[in-house]
Structure 1
Amino acid sequence: MATVTQSNDVRRDPRRWWALGALVASMLTLGFDTTILNVALPTMAGELGATTGQQQWMADSYVIVFAALMLPAGLLGDRFGRRRMLIAGLGIFLAGSVAGSLAGDVNWVIAARTVMGVGAALVTPLALSVLPSLFGPDERTKAVGVISAASSLGLPLGPIIGGWLLNHFWWGSVFLVNIPMAAIGIAACVFLLPETKDPASPRVDTLSTAFTAAGLGALIYAIIEAPSRGWGDPLIVGMLIGSALLLTALVLRERRMERPMLDMTLLSHRGFLFSSIAATLVMFVLSGLLFVLPQYLQAVLGNDALGTGVRLLPMMGGLIIAARAAQPLVNKFGSRAVVCAGLVVLAFAALLGSRTTVDSGYGFTALWLSITGFGFGFSIVPAMDGALGALPRDRAGSGAGLLMTMRQVGAAIGIALLGSLLASTFRDRLDVTGLPAKAADTAGESVVAAHMVAQKAGSTDLISSANSAYVHGMGLVLLVCGVAALVTALLSAAFLPNTPAAPTKQEEAEEDPATAGAIALADAGQ
């Protein structure tokens, strides 16, 4: 299909809504992929013998690659064709899903998740950037709203679909479900999407991309492996130093480039900087919670996979409702007040959750989960809007890319840091008295492993100790989340500029579509 310009004929092509449907299917797949994996991790840990660290890598390998490649992926689409690179991204995501469904050990799953992260990094920015070639300004807002709704649906659908699949099929089915949706997206892109390019876009800087991926990878490796190796271990210290050097080199290189891929000068805008910090820390908390909660619901409370997914709905529901209700409150009270209030609610919910005991039951958990969801929704949406609204209109596209990258980095560090805190606390408090050395080591790997050892040994005391140790570790994680949210609220109150005025209709019509799409995805917690 030949490259086309954004003409009215293309925008009025009757196939455009079918093409949008294909993009929605693609974004929906990416939307529930993360939450599907969170629900599947306890089952996979049991069947594959995955330690807590390996579970962290299954989640983080996807996020690290996503964060490192999102900006160069957008530039690749601009230079070589957005339709072509979108098809390539869906194909890579499909291949990773196939590999994941066939994997026989933890390392293969981690490798498959890494491949899926490459595909997702291509799909996310490019699915948004093709909208101008399909829709005119009068229809674009509606199209972005449809994609936003699909991404929002992915959050609650992920745990439910994942739980249902795990109750009826083997764990690889959580990867297999991606294949038909990705295939439909590829077919629709081939037959329905026009090709668009922007030859004037900056070139992809391979060295900066390598610095980003290697620096983030070294940092996450050190955080995940430190609980078992020790923070003073030469490899851990070397990784931390190497990460600092690589990320410093990235910043210095980008600052010297005439057209940087990662525009660090955007951080000189106070509103963008502190709104981005708030959004990043919210993602830090959200990703950490979604990592530790399923194991509590499944291993400690004894729910099956579907029951675990359903029991996550209070948080997902609160998040989606609050995300939709945030803008009217911002129009009335200003973004600073709403962001700060959301963070205080989030801090209260986390501190309340830190009081969870083995005997608390799900009722108490549902209460603080619901409050948590509202805190997330009321803080993340105004923070994202405030960050992008603080930039000049001609910097909105690069600002959205930097902001989404920062959020993914926050998510990766949240899983690594909070998961490592949980792992070390669990191992330290688990009572393995009387167990052979090998069985004791296995039991200390995760709460799921401890339950499996206890069942083989017929030890109810080990199950009780494992549950108690895990709940204590989860309480510490929630305490850290609460303190982080409270500190972020104080920083926001002190430094965040206020934006009380709602945009005019003319400004909304002139809204940059890439920026609008980025906000829509952010609203959905993508």
Structure 2
Amino acid sequence: MVEKLKKKIQTKFHEPESVYQRRWWILAVLCLSLLIVMVGNTALNVALPILSEELKATNSQLQWLVDSYSIVFAGFLFMAGALGDRFGRKGILQLGLALFAVATLFAGFGANSANELIAARAVMGLAGAMIMPATLSILTNVFPNNERAKAIALWAGISGAGTAIGPLLTGFVLEHYSWHSAFLVSLPLIAIALISGAILIPKSSDPNHTKIDIPGSVLSVVGLVAIVYAIIEAPHNGWLSFDTLSVFSLGAAAMGLFVWWELKTKHPMLDVRLFKIKAFGVSALVLTLVFFALMGMFFNMSQLTQLVWGYSPLEAALKMLPMSAAIVVSSIMSPKLVQKFGKRKVVGSGMLIVALGVLLLSTLGIDVNYGMFVLAMCTAAFGMGIAMSPTTDLMMSAVPRSRAGMGSATNDTTRELGGSLGVAILGSLLAAQYSEKITPAVSQLPQQAQVVAESSLAGALRVAQMLPPQIGGALSIAAKTAWLDGYSHSLIVGAIVIAASATIAFKWLPNQSEESVDEIVHG
């Protein structure tokens, strides 16, 4: 009797009418889950200078602390999206949140070296890959077409806000506790998301589910990891060295085989025919290029504010807080701008605004100029906010609801792949420029001190503190100048990439999705 009553209540609770009535509460849970992922992804940036000092991390290890999360995230997104479509999106979301909690606990209590922390970050990336696509695919299934754009705008706004909330929480914690505690701030949020999600979120899956594409999953992970590994290690190994070229070739071959397999298999993890749809393919390219530049920018900003300008982690996070407000406000404005001007003009204009902001950031120097910093940062954030939600909406509108997991995974992969390549390539450009410029300044130091100073800006500042004041002061200025030279060059490249994405959007991005993958296949 009790079981029958329980089943009746659950059935009633998951009826379409009941789901529709609580759709905004569901969105709140989805946004909280997304916030956990974004905080986990961006919170580390403000801790990089401290980790560089406490763990004696090199430039390469700092890049891996960021990219271990992003690469695993991007590599497993397709499989996670397919698992959600196959076995249920709610279950994958809940499992991802639980795994994120486990990895967070290890990072907070068990990791005591850079490599251990890199491993913990990789597990967080796997958990994030399960969470993020599930949030967007559940959203797509819960909201009707006439409300989906508004819901996605709010979803995108939370995504953008997380880029500032994460560093702020981390900065506050680092002001009072050790770096381990920076990884524990998301635990209360995870608990709330797990409990509320279990109650509110309805079950959904693809009724025409297919087999899981194991070969495609393996090839995509091998390809992405190998390519990004080659790029990050290139400044150390040499861009044309055997190690760099062989690992990069392995990655390129794996990605080529991935595309071939996805076209050949009856049950692809990623239906590459989606990219024949202009709304989907162009949106994916634009998102990849934008996040390439943006994540490279975030990687540099925390080191600029703390190591060059001397802010504490909390001060640095507070200084970046206006960026969050700019993203949220512009994300809310975006749907109205789209109604008036169309998606092509809004996205293209947004990209140009982002490029301008990144270019302004590249002009900052050794002397603190917070006014220019805020102007540049908010300019880039405002452009990002108005452009991201219409681009995401275009991508998702081209995918059938039953394959929402695949569409969401592709949307998230473009962001993470672009971001990981941005940190790898722009970070490597900075590292190479820094190494070249700092070498003459440390040539008279003992060999061990030279190695430490050349490994990172934080390393050079540690060496400077051990030297007599006059010599140490000169080394400190030389190191900051060398780093800023690489910083400026890398952001100029980023601005050029974003300007290119604006050109692509203006020329090829449609104002609406006029076809779906089903029409591509059967039409």
TM-score interval (norm. to shorter): 0.7 to 0.9
Aligned to 1:489: 502
The Cα shift of 1:327 comes to 2.4
Amino acid paired to 1:244: A
Match of 1:427 among 425, 435, 448: 435
The structure 2 residue matched to 1:452, chosen from 446, 459, 462, is 462
Q: Kindly provide the amino acid, as one letter, of the partner of residue 449 in structure 1.
A: G
Query: Which one of the candidate residues 363, 367, 382 is aligned to 1:374?
Result: 382
State the alpha-carbon separation in 2 of the partners of residues 178 and 396 from structure 1. 27
Q: Distance in 1 between matches of 2:34 and 2:190?
A: 10
1:498 to partner: Cα distance: 4.0
Residue deviations 1:217-259 (CA, integer Å, cap 9, x gap): 0001000000011012211111111001100000000001223
Listed one character per residue, the Cα deviations across residues 314-368 of structure 1 (whole Å, up to 9, x for unaligned) are: 3333233222222222222222222222222222222233222223522222222
CA contact (8 A) 2:84 2:91 kept: yes
Identity level (%): 35
Kindly indicate whether residue 318 of structure 2 is the aligned counterpart of residue 305 of structure 1: no
| Residue equivalent to 1:28 | 35
TM-score (norm 2): 0.87
1:72-471 equivalences under 5 Å are: 72-102=79-109, 103-130=111-138, 150-190=158-198, 195-198=203-206, 200-359=208-367, 361-389=369-397, 398-430=406-438, 431-458=441-468, 459-471=472-484
2: CA distance, partners of 1:442 / 1:279? 37
Q: Secondary structure at the match of 1:444?
A: helix
SS in 1 for 2:455: coil
Check 1:148–1:322 CA distance in 2 against 1; reply closer, same or farther (3 A cut): closer
Higher mean C-alpha displacement, 454-463 vs 340-349: 340-349
Q: Distance in 2 between matches of 1:152 and 1:319?
A: 6
Deviations 1:404-449 (CA, angstroms, capped at 9, x unpaired): 2122111110111111111111111112132111111101111111
Structure 1: give runs of 5+ residues left out of the alignment.
504-526
8 Å Cα contact 1:318-1:373 kept in structure 2:
yes
Separation in 2, partners of 1:435, 1:407: 42
SS at match of 1:172: helix
Residues 153 and 331, structure 2, Cα contact 8 Å, conserved in 1: no
Q: CA offset at residue 73 of structure 1?
A: 1.3
By how many angstroms is 1:145 displaced? 7.1
Whole-angstrom distance in 1 between the partners of 2:506 and 2:401: 25
Give the alignment's Cα RMSD to 1 decimal. Answer: 3.0
Q: CA deviation at 1:122?
A: 1.1
Query: SS at 2:179's partner residue?
Result: coil
Q: Could you give the per-residue CA deviations for residues 23-67 of structure 1, whole angstroms, max 9, x where no partner exists?
A: 444332222222211111111111111111111111111111111
- Partners of 2:357 and 2:33 in 1: CA distance: 33
Instruction: Give 2:252's aligned amino acid.
Output: A
In 2, distance between residues paired with 1:181 and 1:283? 25
Q: Which moved more, 1:257-266 or 1:133-142?
A: 133-142
Assess, with a 3 A threshold, how the Cα gap between structure 1 residues 455 and 348 changes in structure 2: closer, same or farther.
same
Paired with 1:218 and 1:498, the residues of 2 have a C-alpha distance of 36
**Structure 1 CA distance for aligned equivalents of residues 156 and 281 of structure 2:** 25
CA contact (8 A) 1:344 1:485 kept: yes
The 2-side partners of 1:132 and 1:385 are apart by 10
CA-to-partner distance for each residue in 1:476-520, whole Å, 9 max, x for gaps? Answer: 011101211222222333333345x9x9xxxxxxxxxxxxxxxxx
Contact 1:355–1:475 (8 Å) recurs in 2: yes
Once the two structures are overlaid, the 10-residue window that deviates more, 375-384 or 154-163, is 375-384
Q: Name the residue aligned to 1:512.
A: none
Judge which range, 379-388 or 298-307, deviates more: 379-388
Matches of 2:231 and 2:187 in 1, distance apart?
Answer: 33
Query: In terms of mean alpha carbon deviation, does 305-314 or 1-10 score higher?
Result: 1-10
Cα distance in 2 for residues equivalent to 1:136 and 1:327: 16
Q: Does 1:48 align with 2:58?
A: no
Across the two proteins, how many residue pairs are aligned to each other? 501
Aligned partner letter, 2:491 = L
- 2:75 corresponds, among 39, 43, 68, to 68
> What are the ranges of 5 or more consecutive residues in structure 2 without an aligned counterpart?
1-5, 515-523
The alignment's TM-score, normalised by the length of structure 1, stands at 0.87
Give the distance between the partners of 2:215 and 2:31, measured in 1 at CA. 33
Going from structure 1 to structure 2, the CA distance change for 1:399 and 1:45 (only over 3 Å counts) comes to same
Q: 1:344 to 1:305 in 2, by over 3 A?
A: same
* 1:301–1:361 contact (8 Å) kept in structure 2: no
Asked if structure 2 preserves the Cα contact closer than 8 Å seen for 1:46 and 1:448, the reply is yes
1: CA distance between counterparts of 2:399 and 2:83? 24
